[in-house]
A and B are shown apart, each in its own frame.
Chain A
């Protein structure tokens, strides 16, 4: 086997990097199959006895099934809303080059300056005033609002890469805004759309503070991130907690894998088109 230039060192460093990334995942998974004692006394070794029942205990005790459904529902609706709002907004901003568009882009950028914690109190008040406190619906509406600044700015950058000659020729053939958006801009900016989808989906799935404070811990509405801490007690069974964590991470991993593959396909397609 031949090493490429700088190969051995790069290969070794790559494997070290992989191991560094894999170590916490390995620790989480093996901990999910152990007792507390084993987790503390033999943290990185394989379980002496594989406690598969930890997964069942976590599932039933924290009622993770309902919580996972709630998380899927909230994240799914929120991501659809985010894309439905961000894509047209980005299209409009990418196609317009005047003071107003710069002002609107600047306004979106200002969204980054507001830390989430600072928005907590007004958001709670808003939830109360709209009568949506303690509901999943508020999260579905609030999450897209919080995700819009980054989503729009990212998509604008992707849409600015669309060749103007392509847009002009499509326009000359009679394509209106809708056709331009759906047939020209979105396909070419698809890597950006998928990137935004992955990024925001992870953010929505992992959101804890607002879900806890506004949606709350009632079993019928709580998300999986809020359900998981119910496994914590004065003497937590850490194996069960780790098993519960694995169960909450799995859907995200699957979604990421699917979307990531889609992004790679989109990137490749873009390269061919270019």
Chain B
């Protein structure tokens, strides 16, 4: 989640990082954290090395900077910040292998980061949540999503922070122009709406067919006939072809594709194409998460005033009675490395992490980056964004499906490659075989 298109470099770097970790582990050097130049304590309260997914271009970067600045001013503890790019997982693994591990990684739970606890890159945080007084305020569902296996009782891999809702966006003005009275609730209504939209020259559903946005929408549709437990198992272990309800969902996807529900050439589009075509009124429907609420307003098109949030329409006989959407807390959280858990560092890390969970700080992130708070509290006054306000009422209108991130794990990139074909001309059989192969590789 929260990923831009992987590059060829990513694959090379991933291979290199993996091989490097293996090579150095065999030399017995990766276990011992060595203090690098960045680890040198600052005069005063010491220092913390942080790698963050919230890079400068991210809507949460400003709120993050305010936290760091205030923290340093209050405690004298210096933050050595390194920005993690698309290859943040490889960057961190290479640093750990080089003996220059950061203390804290602000990253989303996806792909390789899911394996960090097993690999010994990070430590479990169950006890810290209790000792640091966060347990009472943290939402149990947020914690569970960060547990191994995504279930209560599993070891806690990190502290969730950035939750999100991920609905369908409907441009009501364009729907009205095409003669569609209300947002479609069933797939038949969606097909009908797509025909009407196309008749007046407006694209129907836009999505990044060759990146993570397309991957998520595919899974949302493919699990239409499947219960959550079965879907999680299939995502984790494979069995797309062998599970009739999943196969039926994949068939539904290709039926919708063949009925031209998606915009033209969707297989070649990226997330940026999706945002631009929706914001500019070239397409009437898109699937995007809470992080885009503030971005849409910043586009200056007024699209936020013409948008109604809802779910993806469901077919008859579906496992869900309402249109579907995603909701989750695997956005961005805090993962503590072995270095960060060392006796000389853990108290500094505690001070920084707990600072993030202050109610005003969380509120600042709600206001700036439209995050769904991971802690209980009244954040309504911070939800100034109109779409964020609207999303708070989603629960009554949608049902939430299984977000694939935690379950597909490291197979995410190969699966996205398979699904680019699904948005093209691949048959249901070809798609399910491709997914099984990518999952079991």
Residues of A within 8 A of B9 (CB): 208-209, 212
Q: Which residues of chain A in 222-268 are interfacial with respect to chain B, using CB atoms and an 8 Å cutoff? A: 226, 229-238, 240-241
Give the one of B9, B55, B301 with max A CB within 10 A. Answer: B55
A203 within 8 A of B: no
B279 within 8 A of A: yes
Interface string of B9-40 (1 = CB under 8 A from A): 10011001101100110000000000011100
Stretch in contact with the other chain, from A20-28, A79-87, A125-133, A176-184: A125-133
A121 within 8 A of B: yes
What residues make up the interface of A, taking CB atoms closer than 8 Å to B? 35-37, 39-41, 61-63, 117, 120-121, 124-125, 127-128, 133-135, 208-209, 212-213, 216-219, 226, 229-238, 240-241
Contact of A128 with B24 at beta-carbon distance under 8 Å, contacts A40-B276, A216-B91 already known: yes
Closest 3 CB pairs of A and B: A40-B276, A235-B295, A233-B57
B330 to chain A, nearest CB (A): 14
What residues make up the interface of B, taking CB atoms closer than 8 Å to A? 2-4, 9, 12-13, 16-17, 19-20, 23-24, 36-38, 55-59, 80-87, 90-91, 94-95, 97-100, 271-273, 275-277, 279-280, 282, 289, 291-292, 295, 299-301
* 6 pairs, CB–CB < 8 Å, chain A vs chain B: A37-B300, A117-B12, A212-B85, A216-B82, A234-B58, A240-B57
Q: Given the complex of chains A and B, what is the CA–CA distance between A240 and B9 in angstroms?
A: 23
Q: Given the complex of chains A and B, what is the CA–CA distance between A234 and B212 in angstroms?
A: 10
Can you name 13 extra interface pairs (CB under 8 A) apart from A134-B37, A134-B100, A235-B295? A37-B280, A41-B282, A61-B57, A121-B23, A128-B97, A209-B13, A212-B85, A212-B87, A218-B38, A231-B56, A233-B59, A236-B4, A236-B272
Q: Given the complex of chains A and B, what is the CA–CA distance between A274 and B153 in angstroms?
A: 83
Nearest CB in chain A to that of B81: its residue: A219
Residues of A within 8 A of B2 (CB): 234
Residues of A within 8 A of B295 (CB): 234-235
Residues of B within 8 A of A63 (CB): 56
Q: Given the complex of chains A and B, what is the CA–CA distance between A125 and B291 in angstroms?
A: 38
Q: Are A234 and B271 in contact (CB under 8 A)?
A: yes
Nearest CB in chain A to that of B275: its residue: A235
Residues of B within 8 A of A120 (CB): 12, 16
Q: Are B24 and A35 in contact (CB under 8 A)?
A: no
Q: Given the complex of chains A and B, what is the CA–CA distance between A229 and B291 in angstroms?
A: 19
Q: Are B276 and A230 in contact (CB under 8 A)?
A: no
Q: Given the complex of chains A and B, what is the CA–CA distance between A237 and B2 in angstroms?
A: 15
Nearest CB in chain A to that of B12: its residue: A117
Q: Given the complex of chains A and B, what is the CA–CA distance between A41 and B299 in angstroms?
A: 13
Contact of A217 with B84 at beta-carbon distance under 8 Å, contacts A120-B12, A212-B13, A212-B91 already known: yes
Residues of B within 8 A of A208 (CB): 9
Contact of A234 with B276 at beta-carbon distance under 8 Å, contacts A218-B38, A240-B57 already known: no
Q: Given the complex of chains A and B, what is the CA–CA distance between A168 and B207 in angstroms?
A: 72
Q: Are A218 and B292 in contact (CB under 8 A)?
A: no
Q: Given the complex of chains A and B, what is the CA–CA distance between A40 and B280 in angstroms?
A: 9
Q: Are B56 and A62 in contact (CB under 8 A)?
A: yes
Q: Given the complex of chains A and B, what is the CA–CA distance between A127 and B99 in angstroms?
A: 12
Q: Given the complex of chains A and B, what is the CA–CA distance between A234 and B279 in angstroms?
A: 15
Q: Are A233 and B55 in contact (CB under 8 A)?
A: yes
A196 to chain B, nearest CB (A): 26
Residues of B within 8 A of A232 (CB): 4, 55, 57, 85-86
Q: Given the complex of chains A and B, what is the CA–CA distance between A33 and B87 in angstroms?
A: 29
Contact of A37 with B292 at beta-carbon distance under 8 Å, contacts A124-B94, A216-B82, A234-B4 already known: no
B334 to chain A, nearest CB (A): 19
Nearest CB in chain A to that of B54: its residue: A233
Residues of A within 8 A of B56 (CB): 61-63, 230-231
Residues of A within 8 A of B100 (CB): 133-134
A118 to chain B, nearest CB (A): 10
Out of B91, B97, B98, B300, name the residue touching A217 (CB < 8 Å): B91
Contact of A238 with B272 at beta-carbon distance under 8 Å, contacts A40-B277, A61-B56, A134-B38 already known: yes
A173 to chain B, nearest CB (A): 54
Contact of A35 with B20 at beta-carbon distance under 8 Å, contacts A62-B56, A217-B82 already known: no
Q: Are B57 and A134 in contact (CB under 8 A)?
A: no
Nearest CB in chain A to that of B18: its residue: A121
